[in-house]
Amino acid sequence: MTTPRTRRGDVLALALLCTAQFMLILDVVVVNVAVPSIRTDLEVPDGALQFVAVAYTVAFGSLLVAFGRAGDVHGRRRIFLAGLTVFTLASLAAGLAQTGWQLIASRAVQGIGAAMISPTALALLTIRFEEGPARNRALSVWGAVGAGGAIAGQLIGGVLTEVAGWRSVFLINVPVGVLAIVAATALLSEYRERAGTRLDGVAAVLLSGGLVPAVLAVTWLPQHGLTSAVVVALSAAAVLLAGFTVRQRRSSAPLVDLGLLRRAGVRSGFAALALSSAALTTSLFFTSLYLQVVVGHGALAVGLAFAPLTVLILLITPFSGNVVTRVGARPPLVVGMALMAVGMLWLSRVPDDGGYWTDVLPGLLAMAVGSGISYAPMFIAATTGVPPEEQGLTSGLLNTSQELGPAIGLAALAGVAAAVTTAPTAASLASGYRAGFLGAALLVLTATVAAARMPRDIGRATPSEEAATTPVAGVA
């Protein structure tokens, strides 16, 4: 029986886990606004400046699966607390950095901490909230944090940098991190379900080592093209990932259970998350460029232009879990991603001399509504039916698809836009952006087709489950 005390504990635990995830997502994008100030203050060369952002992304994206599985084997709470400690200390070091390389090193350690936190936080959530209506509602809140946080990051970063300086975008994590560590110690329990007693360290090194050059390559590709450095990185990634595949086949306790991918919900959830995240990230990237280059907005105005998206996503996403409970994950996934595609197709027709209110905002609103409807159902579909001892691995794979999907999608579609652009004029650049928006629409339509093929009842509660479940206080 669920008591008011346990409900209160569930709400506090959910708030803690979502706050931790929000902090990680902010640190992916919040630094972008602070880069000009960092360059001036620390005298970072232009060639090294990109690593302030890339160091975090590479460490984060390459270690998610390894730490997700480590949580399954050694304890999710233990890895989560260790990750919070690493992330908080690295944030302090970043905020106090006196040279560019100190900052870059701190950002890499931040990424390691983030990779420890993110998959274990999601696993702790899915294990704490029983599969069905309660988990659906909890994941809808998680989805709101994920979908809204990335867009809000640019605005928050701009305000912090303007008011308190660039160091504040890192130092703000320190009190939040300390409070999160204290709260996690009091609120979170360790769970007994473990995926065996051994983590295949060799496989973890091969996988993470292969993902590092892979993430670097797809990050460099849009800016530098297919240079020798990109080719070397891709070659190293291919060799290491091939070694990981061989190790997987020979291991008695493989790092990644490929049987997970035989579950229809897991496959559809992964595909939908990777493709739709790639499409949304790319669309926001091209929208930002269009508003600055063609419309003539400044950086702060562009940040404010995305505010309606954040508001809509935060308003809609918390209710999507209840929709899944009633009709299953497939309908909101299909409808939501179709709306995202409509928004991207609208943006694919922006004129050479367009404006925000008539040419951009309608497309952004359609994307926001679609994202709000579909984001949480992706996580619900991917985690439904997965045993507790595999939730850390599943969470790591989900987060990896969410990190790598946008990186690969942006690299590909930035290349398409560059190929279409024939001159450095606003009109020619706008034609490239239109091609990028069209490519993003095709990505999300592909995800829609994949979602339409999944069983309809994934995530749907039986009448007895719906009647027996007491709502989590504060969760719509």
Q: What is the pLDDT of residue 453?
A: 87
Same domain, 241 and 264: no
Residue 476: its pLDDT value, please? 36
pLDDT confidence of residue 163? 83
Per-residue pLDDT of the chain (476 residues; tens, 9 = 90+): 455 546 888 999 999 999 999 999 888 877 877 877 888 899 888 777 778 888 898 899 899 999 999 998 889 999 999 999 999 999 999 999 999 999 999 999 999 999 999 999 999 999 999 888 999 999 999 988 877 777 777 677 777 877 888 899 999 999 999 999 999 999 998 875 555 557 788 888 999 999 889 888 877 776 677 788 889 999 999 999 999 999 988 887 788 877 777 888 888 888 999 999 999 988 988 998 899 888 888 767 877 888 888 889 889 998 999 999 999 999 999 999 999 999 999 999 999 988 999 999 999 999 999 999 998 999 999 988 888 888 888 999 998 888 888 878 887 888 889 889 888 888 899 999 999 999 999 999 999 998 998 887 888 866 555 555 544 444 43
What's the predicted TM-score (pTM) here? 0.88
53 & 111 share domain: yes
Q: Are residues 347 and 446 both part of a single domain?
A: yes
Which of 137, 74, 22, 57 minimizes the C-alpha distance to 377?
137
- Supply the pLDDT for residue 195: 54
Per-residue pLDDT, 475: 46
Q: Is 311 contained in some domain?
A: yes
Query: CB-based contacts of 187: which residues, under 8 Å, 6+ apart?
Result: 9, 12, 13, 16
Report yes or no on 42 lying in a domain: yes
Q: Is residue 475 part of a domain?
A: no
Q: Is residue 230 located within the same domain as residue 267?
A: no
Domain boundary among 254, 277, 294: 254
CA dist., res. 29 & res. 150, Å (int): 7
Q: Are residues 266 and 345 in the same domain?
A: yes
**Rounded CA separation 318/314 (Å):** 7
Please tell me the number of Cα atoms within 13 Å of 229 on its side-chain side: 10
* Contact yes or no for 357/159 (Cβ under 8 A): no
CA distance 316 to 320: 7
Query: For 262, which DSSP code?
Result: G
With vertex at residue 202, the alpha carbon angle to CA 53 and CA 240, rounded to the nearest 5 degrees, is 60
Round to whole Å and give the CA distance between 318 and 119. Answer: 21
Q: Does the residue 115 lie in any domain?
A: yes
What is the rounded distance in angstroms from the CA atom of residue 204 to the CA atom of residue 74?
A: 14
What is the DSSP-derived secondary structure letter of residue 44?
-
Q: Are residues 351 and 448 in the same domain?
A: yes
Whether residue 151 lies inside any domain: the answer is yes
472 is a domain residue: no
> What CATH number is given to the structural domain containing 398?
1.20.1250.20
* 3-class secondary structure, 98: coil
Q: In this structure, are 301 and 440 located in the same domain?
A: yes
Q: Are residues 241 and 277 in the same domain?
A: no
- Closest-CA residue to 429 (of 286, 251, 281): 286
Domain assignment of residue 344, given as a range: 4-199+255-465
Can you give the pLDDT at residue 57?
A: 85
User: Do residues 351 and 457 both lie within one domain?
Assistant: yes
What pLDDT is attached to residue 4?
A: 55
135 and 75 part of one domain: yes
Residues 186 and 211 in one domain: no
Say if CB 265 and CB 381 are below 8 A apart.
yes
Residue 474 in any domain: the answer is no
Of 239, 254, 269, the domain-final residue:
254
The count of domains in the chain is 2
**What is the pLDDT at residue 54?**
82
Identify whether residues 72 and 208 lie together within a single domain.
no
Q: Looking at the domain assignment, is residue 185 inside a domain?
A: yes
